[in-house]
Structure 1
Amino acid sequence: MTESLNISIQFGGGAELLFDKIKKREVDLPALKKYLPDCQREKWTIRELLLWIKENLLREREELFLQGDSVRPGILVLINDADWELCGELDYELQNRDTIMFISTLHGG
């Protein structure tokens, strides 16, 4: 895949507070080999997307969004309105025009 990939990334339930309070972003991801030259894959997956989000969008308190190479427990991930568990989670291969939503279910008390 040599062309860019256009996707929508959305944040809700308070997760947007970690991303300059912006709830929705349209992003053009570069060809995966340009972004991660040593990557063995040809297509973007949620795993690489999380790394890209960490490096390009996340503004504060990484530990409230990420744990290891995944989202932390309490962050619901939807791929085109379906739970990511039904789509392969970190291994889901992104498609042009996908919508990926991250919703925090974590609330202080």
Structure 2
Amino acid sequence: MHFGACGRTLGGRVSEDRKQGVAKARVCGGMELLFDGLTLTKATVQGPQAGGQVEMRHVIAHVKDHLLTERPDLFVSGETVRPGILVLINDSDWEIEGQLDYEVQNGDVIVFISTLHGG
């Protein structure tokens, strides 16, 4: 699975047992400030339990808990992303793909883009 968007990358794949994965991501639209400007890193995302699939809710929790360096309230609200953050999975709006319930597949590209800009 790959996370992507305009500037920050986290790299990798979902393991064969699909209970964990290493991901590649980018963030943009001003969100890079929340991630200390880091442009490339690798991260392992765990499923909830043995035999469990890695879903988008796990990806978002991992990004919040391990990659975000400040102001988590600007990235997440509860277990989902805040309004104003566009999430794309393989260039499709994640609302079409099932949002938090989407089961991440090997080779997926996940992009987080902030659509809100201060004036």
* TM-score grouping bracket, smaller chain normalisation: 0.7 to 0.9
Distance 1:79 1:97 in 2: 10
Selected match of 2:33 from 13, 17, 26: 17
Structure 1 segments unaligned to the other structure (5+ residues): none
Selected match of 1:58 from 60, 68, 85: 68
TM-score by length of 1: 0.81
In the TM superposition, what are the counterparts of 1:30-109 in structure 2 within 5 Å?
Answer: 30=46, 32=47, 36-37=48-49, 42-109=52-119
Q: Percent identity?
A: 46
TM-score by length of 2: 0.75
SS at match of 2:61: helix
Q: How many residues align?
A: 103
After TM superposition, the runs of 4+ consecutive aligned structure 1 residues lying more than 4 A away are 23-26
Aligned Cα RMSD in Å? 2.1
Aligned partners of 2:28 and 2:112 also within 8 Å: yes
In 2 relative to 1, CA 96–14 (structure 1 residues): closer, same or farther, beyond 3 Å? Answer: same
